Amino acid sequence: MATAQEKATPNNLSNNPTASNSSAVPSSWAHPTADPFRNRPSVSALVSAVDSFPDPPPKTTSTTKGIPVMMRVQTCHPLDPLSAAEISVAVATVRAAGATPEVRDSMRFVEVVLVEPAKQVVALADAYFFPPFQPSLLPRTKGGPVIPSKLPPRRARLVVYNKRSNETSVWIVELREVHAATRGGHHRGKVISSKVVPNVQPPMDAVEYAECEAVVKDFPAFREAMKRRGIEDMDLVMVDAWCVGYHRETDAPSRRLAKPLIFCRTESDCPMENGYARPVEGINILVDMQHMEILEFEDRKLIPLPPADPLRNYTSGETRGGVDRSDVKPLQIIQPEGPSFRVNGHFIQWQKWNFRIGFTPREGLVIYSVAYIDGSRGRRPVAHRLSFVEMVVPYGDPNDPHYRKNAFDAGEDGLGKNAHSLKKGCDCLGYIKYFDAHFTNFNGGVETIENCVCLHEEDHGILWKHQDWRTGLAEVRRSRRLTVSFICTVANYEYGFFWHFYQDGKIEAEVKLTGILSLGALQPGETRKYGTTIAPGLYAPVHQHFFVARMDMAVDCKPGEAFNQVVEVDVIVEEPGKNNVHNNAFYAEERLLKSELEAMRDCNPLSARHWIVRNTRTVNRTGQLTGYKLVPGSNCLPLAGSEAKFLRRAAFLKHNLWVTPYVPEEMHPGGEFPNQNPRVGEGLATWVQQNRSLEEADIVLWYVFGVTHIPRLEDWPVMPVERIGFLLMPHGFFNCSPAVDVPPSASDLDDKDNGMSAKPIQNGVIAKL
């Protein structure tokens, strides 16, 4: 991901020819593999480790609160996403490390992502290397710490698929090292480690999808089967190469497999035609994605193609025989004085919030180092890392091919790699700051999604209001929120992922679901109870969408502190008796979740159940522990039997809430490689079996939320946006409402017209900072 400033200014990190010998890089700079608290290095140890690296003389000397600070200009924060140059260096380094030309030529690059450093390294960077300097992040030491002159080298983690051997390997590359062993010695990267991961298949890539479509279309038996259905023009055919999942032993990852779904457009000269309106059923295809060969083909049943529905398309009204609405007047959003937020690289400041923006090919948007500036109490951390780490879409039709449609859209495809460019300005309105995203393609080249992440402010109605009925005087505050978002397309569906920050201390996570339904074909006169008939010969199967938000919390915790716990709160109706003589009494009952197995919990709207992450060492003015609470929105659990095949890969769907102590390697709830994964319960469901203590820990919340979609006729041809999500709300965190400080907004209404007409508004501006 790159900002506009970075595009204009060369990246000093990747262009600086200076070499430094860092072969003795301490493992503490990267995430430890053991208990992160038992072996956590001290700040003094980190300082000593950094100073052990030779470096040119420091460029500047400054003093912060009497502490001598020796710093040089820093170009990349430790949490900044990898730049295009860094990705190129990482790829070239790994490719050059191949033992033979055949091995190098067979390398396919699935993912290149930043190795996120230990939390203490991030704290050191934020304290003394990147503005706004925050020395309070580090614990005080007698005499004050000696601040190092530089930060440790950045590292990249690469997932590489060998197309020749069908092996998956993981590589760690240091990016600021000139290593003579690389060809030519100019790649400026050093391989720190590499290992082959047995018995897995990495995510599929767009290059493979395109190759799979071409192979299927060129297969003689397939062309003959399509001719039986009246289709001879292969340009009309759409082949969506869905991952095979794991439903039988032959789906094991010893082969790289896909089970394509077939659709067919009706017009070759209409690029925006909705081809998903005509599913092709009755054809079974199994594709070897390693060799791009058809392993199985069977034309099982001749099901006629659904007739061309005049309402199938989603373009303007004229193209589908209708008329677009003409009575909608322009609605413009302007900010003539610019936005209220400030951006420095990937560091965002707005109102009293500050945080960093990151991006990965798998998760997409990542929010780091979330904190609230609270008057005399200063910077108060809320969370270290927020992201959506997985999503699963199981379908409820037991018929072929729909029972196989159990997509892991993050783990099998990658939400970030399927993100949109938002440069047209239709997805966000107002004064916009865009961020680009960089990632590797399958062949090792670097691709850029311009304007991938959108940052902007939104009016959000009334924040609070009160009118004194005696005096008639009223106080009103409008709510404004800061929104960070990206949108991706996975086959037929679109998903928008949003993090909203509010002036009263709330954080809202929201997913917007839209796009096109994945459909099935029907025989004439046939209906199915597992879906909704939406057009002649066409039905939409019932299905569910599940999302997993991973929240590495840090409520009032400095880096290195582990002072959080989780409390479950239920509202209890008091039993009739002397304490409830009027039968109206109820109260909130708290329960400390002491261990991982105890913290496997489900939503309960009947008791208004929610969960609070509390700091065990910090109290508010009433003596209560400070906290942030997770408030569920609408939610559901899988509507499947306990032996459902997709649940062996997605055991994390069995509960709405999981809680674990922070371990860096525990990132993916279904395991890193869910594609064709035969291992039952890998990931989150396995980790919690350790039943680690949560009474005072570095807490990670895993919140699983979903929606059950029973399609309507009105969901065709487009599915209007459906919103689901949850809230993180302060609970005893502040001594009073932060909304008190929000100033009144000036009215734009003309009093002469009794508020019925608005003052003239200038033309809207959608700008890129």
3-state secondary structure 407-467: EEHHHHHCCHHHECCCCCCCCCCCCEEEEEEEEECCCCCEEEEEEEEEEEEEEEEEEEEEE
Q: Tell me, yes or no, whether 114 and 238 share the same domain.
A: no
Q: Tell me, yes or no, whether 402 and 363 share the same domain.
A: yes
Q: Which domain CATH number covers 425?
A: 2.70.98.20
Report the candidate in 237, 335, 322 with the shortest Cα–Cα distance to residue 279: 237
102 — pLDDT class (breaks 50, 70, 90): very high
DSSP 8-state assignment for residue 543: E
- Cα separation, 675 vs 411, whole angstroms: 7
Domain that holds residue 254: 206-308
Instruction: Tell me how far apart the terminal alpha carbons of the chain are, to the nearest angstrom.
Output: 15
Output the pLDDT for position 755.
36
Say if 626 falls within a structural domain.
yes
Instruction: Kindly provide the residue ranges of all beta strands, DSSP E only, lying in 470-563, ordered along the sequence.
Output: 474-490, 493-502, 507-515, 520-521, 531-535, 538-541, 543-553
Radius of gyration for the chain, computed over Cα atoms and rounded to the nearest angstrom: 28
Q: By percentage, how much of the chain surpasses pLDDT 70?
A: 84
Amino acid identity for residue 371 in this structure: A
For 483-507, b where at least 16 C-beta lie within 10 A, e where not — what string? bbbbbbebbbbbbbbbbbbbbbbbb
Report, as an integer, the average pLDDT of 716-745. Answer: 92
H or E stretch covering 49: helix 43-51
Report, as an integer, the average pLDDT of 461-489. Answer: 94
Residue 156 has φ and ψ, to the nearest 5°, of -120, 145
Say if 756 falls within a structural domain.
no
pLDDT reading at 264 higher than 50:
yes
Say if 569 falls within a structural domain.
yes
The answer to whether residue 409 is catalytic is yes
Amino acid identity for residue 47 in this structure: V
- Cα separation, 423 vs 329, whole angstroms: 24
pLDDT in tens, 147-164: 788 899 999 999 999 999
- Cα separation, 570 vs 575, whole angstroms: 15
Do the strands 283-288 and 531-535 form a parallel or antiparallel pair, or are they unpaired? unpaired
pLDDT reading at 561 higher than 90:
yes
User: 194 or 769: which carries more pLDDT confidence?
Assistant: 194
For 253-276, b where at least 16 C-beta lie within 10 A, e where not — what string? bebbbbbbbbbbbbeeeeeebbbb
Q: Tell me, yes or no, whether 134 and 276 share the same domain.
A: no
Say if 355 falls within a structural domain.
yes
Output the pLDDT for position 464.
93
Output the pLDDT for position 156.
97
Do the strands 347-350 and 342-344 form a parallel or antiparallel pair, or are they unpaired? antiparallel
Q: Other CB atoms closer than 10 Å to residue 636's CB: what's the count?
A: 17
The tokens describing 392, both together, are 């699963």
Poorest-confidence range of 72-76, 321-325, 475-479, 521-525? 72-76
Are 124 and 180 contacting, i.e. CB atoms less than 8 angstroms apart? no
Helix axes 43-51, 119-128, angle to 10 degrees: 70
* Contact residues for 667 (Cβ-Cβ < 8 A; gap 6+): 389, 550
Looking at 308, 331, 359, the residue that finishes a domain is: 308
Q: Tell me, yes or no, whether 406 and 275 share the same domain.
A: no
Q: Tell me, yes or no, whether 109 and 128 share the same domain.
A: yes
Looking at 282, 308, 334, the residue that finishes a domain is: 308
Residue 547, beta-bridge partner list? 391, 705
Are 284 and 297 contacting, i.e. CB atoms less than 8 angstroms apart? yes
Report the candidate in 16, 40, 48 with the shortest Cα–Cα distance to residue 558: 40
Report the candidate in 368, 686, 701, 727 with the shortest Cα–Cα distance to residue 567: 701
Q: Is residue 66 classed exposed, middle or buried when 0-12, 13-18 and 19+ CB atoms within 10 A define those classes?
A: exposed
Report the candidate in 359, 358, 356, 360 with the shortest Cα–Cα distance to residue 370: 356
Q: Tell me, yes or no, whether 477 and 391 share the same domain.
A: yes
Q: Tell me, yes or no, whether 176 and 249 share the same domain.
A: no
Poorest-confidence range of 130-139, 317-326, 499-508? 317-326
pLDDT in tens, 431-454: 999 999 999 999 999 999 999 999
Q: Other CB atoms closer than 10 Å to residue 704's CB: what's the count?
A: 27
- Cα separation, 366 vs 81, whole angstroms: 10
H or E stretch covering 284: strand 283-288
- 3-state class percentages of the chain: helix first, strand second, coil last, to nearest 5: 15, 35, 45
Residue 469 has φ and ψ, to the nearest 5°, of -70, -20
Report, as an integer, the average pLDDT of 253-259. Answer: 96
Report the candidate in 272, 280, 292 with the shortest Cα–Cα distance to residue 223: 280
Q: Tell me, yes or no, whether 131 and 277 share the same domain.
A: no
pLDDT reading at 124 higher than 60:
yes
- Per the prediction, the chain carries an average pLDDT of 86
- Cα separation, 81 vs 365, whole angstroms: 10
Taking the mean position of all CA atoms in its chain, how far away is CA 449?
Answer: 16
Q: Tell me, yes or no, whether 518 and 650 share the same domain.
A: yes
Say if 104 falls within a structural domain.
yes
Which of these is catalytic: 209, 368, 431, 493? 493
- Cα separation, 349 vs 327, whole angstroms: 39
- Cα separation, 572 vs 105, whole angstroms: 65
pLDDT in tens, 393-421: 999 999 999 999 999 999 999 999 999 99
Q: Tell me, yes or no, whether 185 and 226 share the same domain.
A: no
pLDDT in tens, 685-713: 999 999 999 999 999 999 999 999 999 99
Helix axes 206-217, 220-228, angle to 10 degrees: 70
Residue 540 has φ and ψ, to the nearest 5°, of -110, 115
Report, as an integer, the average pLDDT of 277-288. Answer: 95
* Contact residues for 22 (Cβ-Cβ < 8 A; gap 6+): 53, 152, 153, 174, 176, 177
Q: Tell me: cis bond preceding 717? Omega within 30 of 0 counts.
A: yes
Which of these is catalytic: 80, 126, 240, 409? 409
pLDDT reading at 589 higher than 60:
yes
CA 373-624-603 angle, 5° bins:
90
User: 60 or 717: which carries more pLDDT confidence?
Assistant: 717
pLDDT reading at 55 higher than 80:
no
User: 312 or 77: which carries more pLDDT confidence?
Assistant: 77
Say if 16 falls within a structural domain.
no
Residue 433 has φ and ψ, to the nearest 5°, of -110, 120
Residue 344, beta-bridge partner list? 347
Are 517 and 716 contacting, i.e. CB atoms less than 8 angstroms apart? yes
One-character DSSP codes across 697-753: B-EEEEEEEEEEE---GGGSSSEEEEEEEEEEEEESSSSS-GGGGPPPPPP-B-GGG
Report the candidate in 470, 433, 461, 381 with the shortest Cα–Cα distance to residue 698: 381
Q: Tell me, yes or no, whether 508 and 604 share the same domain.
A: yes
The tokens describing 396, both together, are 């409820």
User: 154 or 769: which carries more pLDDT confidence?
Assistant: 154
Say if 518 falls within a structural domain.
yes
Give the 3-state secondary structure of residue 666. Answer: coil
Q: Which domain CATH number covers 105?
A: 3.10.450
Q: Tell me, yes or no, whether 253 and 284 share the same domain.
A: yes
pLDDT reading at 279 higher than 50:
yes
DSSP 8-state assignment for residue 126: H
273 — pLDDT class (breaks 50, 70, 90): confident
The answer to whether residue 662 is catalytic is no
Give the 3-state secondary structure of residue 516. Answer: coil
Give the 3-state secondary structure of residue 494. Answer: strand
Are 681 and 651 contacting, i.e. CB atoms less than 8 angstroms apart? yes
Compute the residue count for the chain. 769
One-character DSSP codes across 185-203: G-S--EEEEEEEETT--PP
Give the 3-state secondary structure of residue 692. Answer: coil
Report, as an integer, the average pLDDT of 575-593. Answer: 96
User: 738 or 6: which carries more pLDDT confidence?
Assistant: 738
Tokens 């503005």 locate to: 131
- Cα separation, 370 vs 563, whole angstroms: 17
Q: Which domain CATH number covers 222?
A: 3.10.450.40
pLDDT in tens, 355-389: 999 999 999 999 999 999 999 899 999 999 999 99
Q: Into how many domains does the chain fold?
A: 3
Say if 410 falls within a structural domain.
yes
* Contact residues for 210 (Cβ-Cβ < 8 A; gap 6+): none
